[in-house]
């Protein structure tokens, strides 16, 4: 059944607002009262047997995979690769001896991802589909399924499915890490952190007027824009740039902030928007220097910074959570900036040109 838009002008805004509850729902479904993950034993056994994880996905789900890989590596100490489905399908890289495949797909119907799953099944490798749609094709055809419980996502531009995919991967990485006795996983209180994330998301979505103002000031009349960051922040830069491209038709790029100076900085002109995401202590100073470099060339800089790392003059302050989960908060301003840019251009936010919610052709 199609969800009701209620009083919202567009589904996208409703779905952005639903994110705090999606975090709480995942916590309820996948964590017990003590905060321990509730994950099927067979799935955990299969994950433990793997020497490497391969996350395969398209679009926004691919971006959620980039964050997930860092979670599996840091919490469960298992090497993890992330691949774009349409590439992997016809250019399969050399695999480790015991690969395990994780398909991230909101719809469970993406043809590019299904093509990879068919190949994986032919090779008899174990797989997990993480999807929002029960009984979807990829959920039926994989060895295991975990559901996102995000509720129907109607807007073409994905928001709550992205944050749900990251939160569920965090829970799964914690479960695997505990199962293989990784101290980082044992010490990671995912239940408490997801509760902090949910509250943090709520405080961000309650600041809509602020994001509309930033969108109008920096993004409404620009032909292009850059989002920059390092590590987790780079992964979120890619996703927030995609959001802006999809619904506002601004040419936007997510960039590793240190790489900008190796070529792309040539594109910076007076008033080019450069949005810096800063949530990681070890690279905060470096990204700040990169922002100064572009500001010196005329860029209009916007900063999205974790409270504990904030300085005078920062534009958006994010509540502090565990550094491994900051993507769940730093993406929200990017979603809202894209939304308000599209809205103020008078575009159809939910149904951008040339795009489909679920792409069932390769
Ligand atoms: C389409 C949608 C994107 C989505 C991608 C992957 O291109 O427009 O928003 O991220 O498919 O979809 P999936 O359902 O596999 O996550």
Provide mean pLDDT across the span 26-48. 98
ipTM exceeds 0.95? yes
Start-to-end CA distance of the chain, whole Å, equals 27
In the set 5, 345, 351, 357, the catalytic residue is 357
Q: Whose CA is nearest to atom 11 of ligand 1?
A: 358
Res. 287: pLDDT tops 90: yes
pLDDT, position 4: 87
pLDDT of 146 strictly over 80 = yes
Cα–Cα dist 237/255, whole Å: 7
Would you list the DSSP string of 260-298?
A: GGGTGGGG--TT-EEEEEE--HHHHHHHHHHHHHHHHTT
Whole-number Cα distances in Å, 315 to 211, 218, 233:
10, 12, 16
Average pLDDT over residues 206-223: 97
Atom of ligand 1 nearest to the CA of 157: 9
Cβ burial, residue 22 (10 Å; 0-12/13-18/19+): buried
For every residue of 10-29, DSSP letters joined together read SHHHHHHHTHHHHHHHHHHH
CA atoms within 13 A on the CB side of 287: 31
Is residue 234 pLDDT above 80, yes or no?
A: yes
As a 3-state breakdown, the chain gives helix, strand, coil percent values, each rounded to 5, of 50, 15, 35
Q: How far is the CA of 57 from the centre of ligand 1 (A)?
A: 9
Q: 58, 65, 104: which to mutate for ligand 1, most atoms within 8 A of CB?
A: 58
Q: How far is the CA of 59 from the centre of ligand 1 (A)?
A: 5
If you take atom 8 of ligand 1, which residue's CA is the nearest one? Answer: 357
Token pair of 178 as six digits: 């505990």
Residue 110 Cα to ligand 1 midpoint, Å, equals 7
Q: Which residue out of 62, 107, 117 has the highest number of ligand 1 atoms within 8 Å of its CB and is therefore the one to mutate?
A: 107
Residue among 333, 269, 328 at smallest CA distance from 295: 269
Known catalytic membership, residue 213: no
296 phi and psi angles, rounded to 5 deg: -65, -20
Quick: pLDDT tens for 291-335.
999 999 999 999 999 999 999 999 999 999 999 999 999 999 999
Q: Is the per-residue pLDDT at 1 higher than 60?
A: no
> From ligand 1's centre to the CA of 65, what distance in Å?
13
Pocket of ligand 1 (CB under 6 A): 58-61, 105-107, 110, 113, 156, 158, 355-359
In this prediction, residue 2 carries a pLDDT of 64
Position 3 confidence tier, pLDDT thresholds 50, 70, 90 = confident
Q: Is the model's pLDDT at 137 over the cut of 80?
A: yes
Q: How far is CA 1 from the centre of its chain?
A: 26
Sheet of strand 52-57, all strands in order from the earlier edge strand to the far edge = 80-84, 52-57, 99-105, 127-131, 144-147
**Mean of pLDDT over the chain:** 97
Residue having the nearest C-alpha atom to atom 13 of ligand 1: 105
With CA atoms as reference, report the closest residue to 1 among 152, 125, 190, 173. 152
Ligand 1 pocket test: pick from 12, 15, 57, 61 the residue with the most ligand atoms within 8 Å of its Cβ. 61
Is the predicted pLDDT of residue 163 greater than 70, yes or no?
A: yes
What is the model's pLDDT at position 126?
A: 98
| Cα 83 to ligand 1 centroid, rounded to whole Å | 14
CA separation for the pair 81, 102 (Å, rounded): 10
Q: 12: CA distance to ligand 1 center in Å?
A: 14
């Amino acid at each position: 059944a199609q969800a009701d838009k209620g009083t919202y002008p567009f589904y996208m805004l409703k779905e952005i607002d639903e994110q705090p509850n999606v975090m709480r729902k995942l916590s309820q479904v996948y964590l017990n009262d003590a905060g321990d993950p509730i994950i099927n034993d067979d799935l955990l056994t299969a994950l433990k047997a793997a020497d490497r994880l391969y996350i395969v996905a398209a679009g926004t789900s691919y971006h959620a995979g980039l964050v997930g890989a860092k979670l599996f590596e840091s919490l469960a100490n298992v090497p993890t690769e992330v691949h774009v489905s349409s590439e992997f399908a016809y250019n399969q890289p050399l695999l480790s001896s015991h690969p395990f495949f994780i398909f991230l797909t909101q719809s469970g119907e993406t043809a590019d991802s299904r093509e990879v799953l068919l190949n994986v099944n032919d090779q008899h490798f174990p797989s997990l589909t993480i999807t929002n749609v029960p009984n979807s094709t990829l959920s039926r055809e994989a060895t295991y399924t975990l559901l996102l419980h995000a509720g129907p996502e109607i807007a073409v531009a994905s928001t709550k499915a992205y944050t749900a995919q990251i939160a569920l991967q965090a829970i799964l990485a914690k479960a695997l890490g505990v199962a293989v006795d990784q101290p980082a996983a044992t010490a990671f209180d995912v239940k408490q952190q997801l509760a902090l994330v949910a509250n943090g998301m709520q405080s961000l979505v309650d600041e809509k007027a602020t994001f509309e103002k930033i969108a109008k000031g920096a993004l409404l009349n620009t032909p292009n824009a850059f989002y920059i960051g390092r590590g987790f922040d780079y992964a979120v830069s890619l996703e927030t740039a995609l959001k802006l491209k999809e619904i506002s038709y601004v040419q936007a790029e997510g960039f590793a902030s240190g790489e900008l100076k190796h070529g792309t900085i040539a594109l910076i002109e007076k008033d080019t928007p450069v949005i810096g995401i800063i949530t990681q202590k070890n690279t905060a100073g470096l990204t700040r220097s990169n922002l100064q470099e572009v500001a010196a060339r005329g860029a209009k800089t916007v900063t999205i910074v974790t409270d504990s790392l904030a300085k005078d003059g920062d534009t958006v302050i994010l509540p502090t959570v565990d550094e491994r989960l900051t993507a769940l908060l730093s993406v929200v301003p990017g979603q809202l900036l894209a939304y308000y840019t599209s809205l103020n251009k008078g575009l159809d936010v939910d149904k951008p040109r040339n795009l489909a919610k679920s792409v069932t052709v390769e």
